[in-house]
Amino acid sequence: MAHDHSHAGHKHHAQIDADAGDARVAWAIAVNMFLTLAQVVGGIFSGSLALIADALHNFSDAIALIIAFFARKIARRPADPRMSFGYGRAEVVAALVNYTTLIVIAVYLMYEGVTRFFQPEPIDGWLVVWIAVLALVVDLITALLTYSMAKTSMNIRAAFLHNVADALGSVAVIVAGAAVILFNWTWVDPAVTILISLYILWHVQSEIGETIRVLMLGAPPDLDPEEVASVIEATDGVREVHHVHLWSMQENQPALTAHLVVEDWAWSQAEEVRGLVKQAMRDSFGIGHLTLEVETASRACPQTMRFGHAADQSGEN
């Protein structure tokens, strides 16, 4: 009974933490929606393309946070017969959607910035500066709300980094507004717009690869597949390992399947050998989800591949 109480208590605390995280994301959505509206109105009245560009980026952050919010809830659903691995990858899919949206926005902003160079319009520098200062404050509040969750979630990290980019964009807009006030340099506004779009693209390319890797079942970046295979083969009673598949079930959950070729003399202790390999994987690499098929050395699979399987490449079963 004591064990059941402890387990229930752990689940209760986990639910409280999840609800608190949801509340922080909801507040971040609210302040970003307010900011987007203020920036669009200010950009229209001031004539600042950079301010509207920052508003679009902020709106993308609000949408990213909304997607992140619902992805968090979906990811907490328990596994079922048709989704036996659970719903955890909903957050990874959400991150990919958010990054893809950012690419589209960045390309649009670059187009608008180049166009404005050839068709300049008057700009109200003071209105630009004041709204950009408001944006900077809201960006910092949003980053503060999501900072702690961003450390452990690819989904929230995407939204958090968007807000950091927004904060830098707001600083750039303030500079553009000041240039108009002090020197009447209206060209700074489209220049800043193009810089914001380039920064967004740089930011996306630096982060989207990890998201795609998880969806493509790639090996976790902090694990060397060859090292994992070597540790398996160093286990007493194992002759070799093949058909190794190393991937992430969710962002922080490495998984492994493999065929163990057990020495003939150790075949009577095959289950013990398999247990030793599982323990080594947990202790050395933190791999808790393992599926290991055991073969005797005299009757091992023919034409084996160390990593993957020939059918993985040919499409045959």
Give the mean model confidence (pLDDT) for residues 11-36.
69
Thinking of the domain 225-314, which architecture would CATH place it in? Answer: 2-Layer Sandwich (3.30)
18-22, 147-151, 166-170, 304-308 — most confident range: 304-308
Q: Report residue 18's pLDDT band, with 50, 70 and 90 as the boundaries.
A: low
C-alpha distance across the termini of the chain, in Å: 47
Q: Give the separation between CA 68 and CA 25, rounded to whole angstroms.
A: 8
Query: Is the pLDDT confidence value at 46 over 80?
Result: no
Mean pLDDT of 303-311: 77
pLDDT bracket for residue 271 (50, 70, 90): very high
**Model pLDDT for residues 68-99, shown as the tens digit of each residue:** 788 878 888 888 888 888 888 888 888 888 88
**Averaged confidence pLDDT in the chain:** 80
d(C-alpha 61, C-alpha 88), whole Å: 22
- How many other β-carbons are positioned within 10 Å of the β-carbon of residue 70? 13
Q: What is the DSSP string of 63-81?
A: HHHHHHHHHHHHHTSPPBT
Distance, CA of 90 to CA of 67 (rounded, Å) = 10
Does the pLDDT value for residue 45 go beyond 70?
yes
CATH of the structural domain 2-215, one choice from 3.40.605.10, 1.20.1510.10, 1.10.240.10, 3.40.250.10? 1.20.1510.10
**8-22, 135-149, 167-181, 283-297: which has the minimum mean pLDDT?**
8-22
The pLDDT of residue 5 is 42
**Residue 17 tokens, joined:** 């933490």
Other Cβ atoms within 10 Å of 41 Cβ, number: 14
Please tell me the distance from the alpha carbon of residue 309 to that of residue 317, in angstroms, as a whole number: 10
Per-residue pLDDT band for 316 (boundaries 50, 70, 90) equals very low
* Domain spans, the chain: 2-215, 225-314
- Distance from C-alpha of 112 to C-alpha of 299, rounded to nearest angstrom: 66
Mean of pLDDT values over 209-219: 90
CB 299 within 8 A of CB 234: no
Neighbours of 48 (CB within 10 A): 34
The model's pTM: 0.72
The partner residues of 256 in beta bridges, in order of sequence, read: 246, 290
Mean of pLDDT values over 167-193: 82
Two domains, one topology: 2-215 and 225-314: no
| Among the listed residues 254, 245, 252, the one whose alpha carbon sits nearest the alpha carbon of residue 312 | 245
- pLDDT tens string 241-262: 999 999 988 777 899 999 999 9
